[in-house]
Structure 1
Amino acid sequence: MTSTFTLAHLSDPHLPPLPAPRLSELMGKRALGYLNWTRNRHKYHRRDVLDAVSADLKRQAPDHIAVTGDLVNLALSAEFGPAARWLQTIGTPEQVTAIPGNHDAYVRATSHCFGRIFADYLRGDAAAADARFPSLRRRGPLALISLSSALPTPPFFATGTLGRDQLAALAGLLDQLSAEPLFRVLLVHHPLRSDSYIKRLTDAAELRAILRRHGVQLILHGHDHIHSTIWIDGPDGKIPAIGVPSASALPHGRHPAAAYNLFSIAREGNGWRCDQIVRGMNETLHVVELNRTRLI
Structure 2
Amino acid sequence: MTFRLAHISDAHLAPLPPVRRRELFSKRITGYINWKRNRARHMAGDALDRLVAAMKGSAPDHVAVTGDLTNLALDAEIANAAAWLRGLGDPAAVSVVPGNHDAYVPGALARAVAAWHANMTSDAAAIPLTRHGFPFLRERGPAAIIGVNSAVATGPFMASGVFTRRQADGLSQVLEDARQKGLFRVVLIHHPPVRRAAAAHKRLYGIGLFQETIRKHGAELVLHGHTHLAQRNEIPGPGDLAVPVIGVPAAGEEPGGRRPAAAFNLFAIAGEPGRWQCSLEAHSLTGRTGTVAVTDRRVLYG
Task: Give the TM-score band, short-chain normalised.
Answer: over 0.9
Match of 1:278 among 282, 285, 295: 282
- Give, in angstroms, the shift of residue 178 of structure 1: 2.7
2: CA distance between counterparts of 1:131 and 1:118?
Answer: 12
The answer to whether the 8 Å contact 1:8/1:262 transfers is yes
**One-letter code of the match for 1:80?**
I
| Partner residue, 1:102 | 100
Match of 1:288 among 290, 293, 299: 293
Cα gap change, 1:111 to 1:212, in 2 (>3 Å): same
The answer to whether the 8 Å contact 2:198/2:227 transfers is no
Identity in percent: 45
1: CA distance between counterparts of 2:66 and 2:125?
Answer: 20
**One-letter code of the match for 1:180?**
K
| Partner residue, 1:168 | 169
- Give, in angstroms, the shift of residue 175 of structure 1: 2.5
| Partner residue, 1:228 | 231
- Cα deviation per residue 1:195-218 (whole Å; 9 max; x = unaligned)? 411101100111001111111000
**One-letter code of the match for 1:222?**
G
Cα gap change, 1:252 to 1:156, in 2 (>3 Å): farther
Answer yes or no: is 1:152 the counterpart of 2:156.
no
**One-letter code of the match for 2:245?**
A
2: CA distance between counterparts of 1:87 and 1:47?
Answer: 19
- Give, in angstroms, the shift of residue 167 of structure 1: 1.1
Answer yes or no: is 1:263 the counterpart of 2:288.
no
Give the number of aligned pairs. Answer: 293
- Give, in angstroms, the shift of residue 127 of structure 1: 6.1
The answer to whether the 8 Å contact 1:100/1:150 transfers is yes
- Give, in angstroms, the shift of residue 143 of structure 1: 0.6
2: CA distance between counterparts of 1:271 and 1:57?
Answer: 27
The answer to whether the 8 Å contact 2:255/2:285 transfers is no
| Partner residue, 2:9 | 11
- Cα deviation per residue 1:195-253 (whole Å; 9 max; x = unaligned)? 41110110011100111111100000000001001011000411100000000002466
Match of 1:83 among 60, 81, 84: 81
Q: Name which of structure 1's ranges 272-281 and 246-255 shifts more when overlaid on structure 2.
A: 246-255
- Cα deviation per residue 1:86-134 (whole Å; 9 max; x = unaligned)? 1111111111001100000100042311111000101212569x96111
2: CA distance between counterparts of 1:160 and 1:31?
Answer: 20
TM-score, normalised on structure 2?
0.93
Match of 2:247 among 239, 243, 246: 243
The SS at the match of 2:297 is: strand
In structure 2, stretches of 5+ residues that fail to align are: none
The SS at the match of 1:198 is: helix
- Give, in angstroms, the shift of residue 176 of structure 1: 2.7
2: CA distance between counterparts of 1:176 and 1:268?
Answer: 16
Within 5 A, what are the aligned runs for 1:25-174?
25-126=23-124, 132-174=133-175
The answer to whether the 8 Å contact 1:123/1:132 transfers is no
Cα gap change, 1:269 to 1:75, in 2 (>3 Å): closer
1: CA distance between counterparts of 2:176 and 2:113?
Answer: 26
The SS at the match of 2:162 is: coil
